[in-house]
Amino acid sequence: MKHFISLDDVADVNDLVQEGIRQKQNPFADQHLGKNKTIGLLFFNSSLRTRLSTQKAAQNLGMNVMVMNVGQDSWQLEMEDGVVMDGGKAEHVKEAAAVIGQYCDIIAVRAFAELKDRDADYREIVPIAC
């Protein structure tokens, strides 16, 4: 599976569950899959369980792990095109994605709605050509 965005990306959920059980029984069985690979974990929102479980899973697969808390470990990233960046957002997400892509074989992102403006949250604004 190249992309996992929703359950619609999974051909057979039962097979996915069985694979999860297999991984749990022998978590280091597939370390060869991550050898010489780097995963970049980008957190736009705070996390405990997601961060720890994803980082541990990547390490079990033999990957190098790079973690960035966006806005704390870096500038805030601008998401919309055509916006003047004169505040705390000194870099556009498209520029950041190009840099991250040079260093990481896999990119995992934790981001969710701000829950401040319902209409904006449902628009799920994503920059073009990201």
| Higher pLDDT among residues 63 and 113, named by residue | 63
* Per-residue pLDDT at 116 exceeds 90: no
Q: How far apart are CA 39 and CA 64, in angstroms?
A: 6
pLDDT tier at 32, thresholds 50, 70, 90: very high
What fold, for 31-123? Answer: Rossmann fold (3.40.50)
Quote the pTM value.
0.70
Please report, rounded to a whole number, the percentage of residues in the chain having pLDDT higher than 90: 37
pLDDT tier at 129, thresholds 50, 70, 90: very low
Give the type of residue at 77: L
pLDDT tier at 21, thresholds 50, 70, 90: very high
pLDDT at res. 109: 86
Residue 102 buriedness (CB in 10 A; 0-12 / 13-18 / 19+): exposed
Q: Residues 46-99: pLDDT tens digits? A: 889 999 999 999 999 999 999 988 877 776 776 767 766 666 666 777 888 888
Please spell the DSSP secondary structure of the chain, one letter per residue.
----SSGGG-S-HHHHHHHHHHHHHSTTTTGGGGTT-EEEEEESS--SHHHHHHHHHHHHTT-EEEEEETTTTS--EE-STT----SS--EEHHHHHHHHHHH-SEEEEE----SS-HHHHHHT---TT-
The tokens describing 41, both together, are 């974990």
